[in-house]
Chain A
Amino acid sequence: MAKRRILVVDDEVGFTKLLKLNLEKDGQYEVRIENDGVKAVDSAREFQPDLILLDIIMPEKDGGEVLADLQREPSLKNVRVLFLTATVSIKGVEQRDGTIRGMPFVGKPVEPKRLVKRIEEILNS
């Protein structure tokens, strides 16, 4: 079975490196990192991921804007997106039915096992 391609868009350089290590260590996923929100759509067009883990608060261009641009791009408009964000509280998640702008999300910090579980749920849905 081919590796799933995951694009991580997050300005936290250290976090993205460790996330990539964790996700690739079992050989399930091919992970590409994009630390600049402005370049996210270009990277996605080029990489053609199965899933994008998208941070929300980023300098220059935030996650909401990136999502809007992705949805305008024909080759990417059906790409799956999982928001990965430090901005929401536990209660905030409950109040939002687990979605932000129609997309699922996971709050930071998150245990890798839980994250993988969510990724698998989304990819298999």
Chain B
Amino acid sequence: MKSAKQRPGATKINVLLVEDNAVEAELTKVLLAGNSLCQFTARVAPTLAAALEAVRTGPVDVVVLDLGLPDSFGLATFDQLQAAAPELPVIIYTGLGDAEVAVEAVQRGAQDCLTKGQADGDLLARAIRHAVERQRIELALERERDLFRALMENIPDSIYFKDLKSRFLRSSRSQTEMFGFKNPEDIVGKTDFDMFKEDHARRAFEDEQEIIRTGKPLVGKVEKETLADGRLRWALTTKMPFRDKQWRIIGTFGISKNLTELKLMEETLENERNLLRSLIDALPDHIYVKDADCRFVLCNQAVSRFFKLGSPEEVHGKSDFDFLPRRLAQQFHEEEQALLRGETPSVHRETEFGEQDGRTHWVITTKVLLRDGHGRIIGLVGINRDITERKQVEEQLHQINLELARSQKETLVANAELKAAQTRLIQAEKLESIGRLAAGVAHEVKNPLATLLMGLDYLAEKFRESGEDVAITIAEMEEAIKRADDIIHGLQDFSASPQLDTEETNLNSVIEQSLLLTYHELRHKRIHVIKHFAPDLPKLPLDRRRIEQVFINVFTNAIMAMPVDGELCLVALAQQEADGRVKVTVRVEDNGPGVPAEILPRVFDPFFSTKPTSMGQGLGLALARNILDLHGGKIEMSNRPEGGACVTLTLYA
């Protein structure tokens, strides 16, 4: 590629004369030098090898070739040279006899052929100049063809040329293959009606005819096309009028870009957007997006309904301050600003959401940051779930739990009462069986006692005069019978009916009455009685006559143990128990010798007594305990630290 670009006339043309005949060579150089058209620089190569070497080293713009050389002959000479320098123009310059071979060479690409001896200087110069020029034009043309071919063969967009009747003149390879053909030539002469479904083909045809009529191009039209085989295709099409050199419209040409994938992506995106929208609108939770100023960007139907908006779009640009009480809006604003500053995440937070429809609403909120493609914070996304129902259920549950705890406590108290009642019942049953036994024993023992007494009296009459010993014997026997009778009576009292005849009774008055009934014994030993009665003692459910009996027995017992001028101290007080009952305690304190520790546990046993036999049957305290048991109370005896015994009676209101 050296000589072809030189402009003839402006510069010298470098001519390589391939000629083994030195005289011919010199003659040709003279001819060229003598021409009037242009200047030449001529070099001579006497062999093909020399010629090939000269072409390789240059500069050579054109070769004037004699076919008969020492190292090559005929067409082979031309072929070898052309193979070495395909773009170099060659003029065959040969003798008369070689005319046929010369014509053959021209057919194979030689630019011209001249016969030695027939050409003068000007003719030779013109031939050389034309050869160079023609070669240059051919190369340029070939270049244009290459560019066009590259375009039509490789561009993935469809490119086509059509005639005035919209028949394909040329079609790019991509389009050819899209239409299902192998070679672009295969569709020449066909139309869109062969390639597309009727409706698109018609539209395209009309568009093209419009362009031909008006000369106005159609630019950037998005078309939905259905190919003949049913494939759907989206395309961005530009069509232009196709003009000849005279600017006459001879058809149309166009380029069509395949948008199908883009469109499908767009559709997919659109579908996804719709899906998302339906989803968030169908959800009962409040879903919303806010910008960095905590203004709503969008929300779902649930928010729209809650705020009583016509549609979710109306929320745009508004803030919580437009809908919620100021205090609540302020709270949300601060929370969201903290979130946006990245300070505190806001996940699953329970919040009172103000009044609506006359009841307090509760929501659980989760708010997360919203970032753009570069990771910058641009707002937040929030979800509020209404948990009012759950809160109400929780509250009800709480109330039920309280109720449960209360009834549990009541059950405990009831249980305690039941247990006490059961204990009393068992006690009563025990006493009843003792009572039946006692009644039977009493009857069986009293009859022999009656017989004995009857007999003894009779004997006493009979032996009245028999002396003092007999009288003493009889008196002792009578005394023994009387004692046995007393024991039977005591046993009968002890086991008297377990049925209590209770009424609300003032305990103080019972104690006073009992003191009155032991007046003689107290007076006899000159016992001083000290009373500490709490003023607020409640009335108690008591069998008055039996409780009197209890106090009489306890007092009698104490008096017997006390010295003359002793001191009997009575203390009565009330106190609230843990289970709510009121307990009344009465302490009877004497200043006697106290009770030996080893017999303390037995003092309430029946027939246990430390007194001489003549002074009691050992049933007084046992009877007292029975009566206290029947009342659900207690009686205990202890020794006082300062000396003397203390009997403690406990009763419940």
Most buried by A among B442, B457, B485: B457
Shortest B446–chain A CB gap in Å is 3
Chain B residue contacts of A108, Cβ below 8 A? 446-447, 449-450
Report A4-40 residues with CB < 8 Å from chain B CB: 12, 14-15, 18-19, 21-22, 25
Chain B residue contacts of A25, Cβ below 8 A? 458, 461
A86 within 8 A of B: yes
A87 within 8 A of B: yes
The answer to whether A22 touches B457, judged by C-beta atoms less than 8 angstroms apart, is yes
Interface locus among B186-194, B255-263, B271-279, B489-497: B489-497
How many angstroms from the CA of A113 to the CA of B455 in the assembled complex? Answer: 13
Chain B residue contacts of A112, Cβ below 8 A? 453-454, 457-458
The answer to whether B489 touches A12, judged by C-beta atoms less than 8 angstroms apart, is no
Known contacts A89-B492, A89-B493; A111 and B453 CB within 8 A of each other: yes
The answer to whether A110 touches B442, judged by C-beta atoms less than 8 angstroms apart, is no
Chain A residue contacts of B458, Cβ below 8 A? 18, 21-22, 25, 112
How many angstroms from the CA of A119 to the CA of B449 in the assembled complex? Answer: 20
Q: How many residues on the B side are at the interface (Cβ–Cβ under 8 A)?
A: 22
Contact partner, B485, options A12, A14, A19, A109, Cβ 8 Å: A109
B452 within 8 A of A: yes
Chain B residue contacts of A14, Cβ below 8 A? 451
Chain A residue contacts of B496, Cβ below 8 A? 91
B532 within 8 A of A: no
Where chain B touches its partner, the secondary structure class is helix
B481 within 8 A of A: yes
A92 within 8 A of B: yes
Contact partner, A18, options B442, B446, B451, B488, Cβ 8 Å: B451
Known contacts A109-B450, A109-B452; A90 and B439 CB within 8 A of each other: no
B443 within 8 A of A: yes
Q: How many residues on the A side are at the interface (Cβ–Cβ under 8 A)?
A: 22
Chain B residue contacts of A87, Cβ below 8 A? 439, 442-443
Residue of A nearest to B438 (CB): A89
Residue of B nearest to A90 (CB): B489
How many angstroms from the CA of A18 to the CA of B493 in the assembled complex? Answer: 29
Complex interface bits, B489-529 against A, C-beta within 8 A gives 1, otherwise 0: 10011001000000000000000000000000000000000
Shortest B484–chain A CB gap in Å is 9
A57 within 8 A of B: yes
Chain B residue contacts of A113, Cβ below 8 A? 457
Known contacts A22-B458, A57-B443, A112-B457; A91 and B452 CB within 8 A of each other: no
How many angstroms from the CA of A15 to the CA of B442 in the assembled complex? Answer: 16
Complex interface bits, B413-454 against A, C-beta within 8 A gives 1, otherwise 0: 000000000000000000000000001001100110111111
Residue of B nearest to A25 (CB): B461
How many angstroms from the CA of A14 to the CA of B442 in the assembled complex? Answer: 18
Chain A residue contacts of B485, Cβ below 8 A? 109
Residues of A within 8 A of B (CB): 12, 14-15, 18-19, 21-22, 25, 57, 86-87, 89-92, 107-113
Q: Can you offer 18 A-B residue contacts whose CB atoms are under 8 A?
A: A14-B451, A15-B447, A15-B451, A15-B454, A18-B454, A21-B454, A87-B442, A89-B488, A89-B489, A91-B489, A91-B492, A91-B496, A107-B446, A108-B449, A109-B453, A109-B485, A111-B457, A112-B454
Residues of B within 8 A of A (CB): 439, 442-443, 446-447, 449-455, 457-458, 461, 481, 485, 488-489, 492-493, 496
Please provide the 4 A-B residue pairs with the shortest distance between their CB atoms, ordered closest to farther.
A86-B446, A108-B450, A18-B454, A109-B450
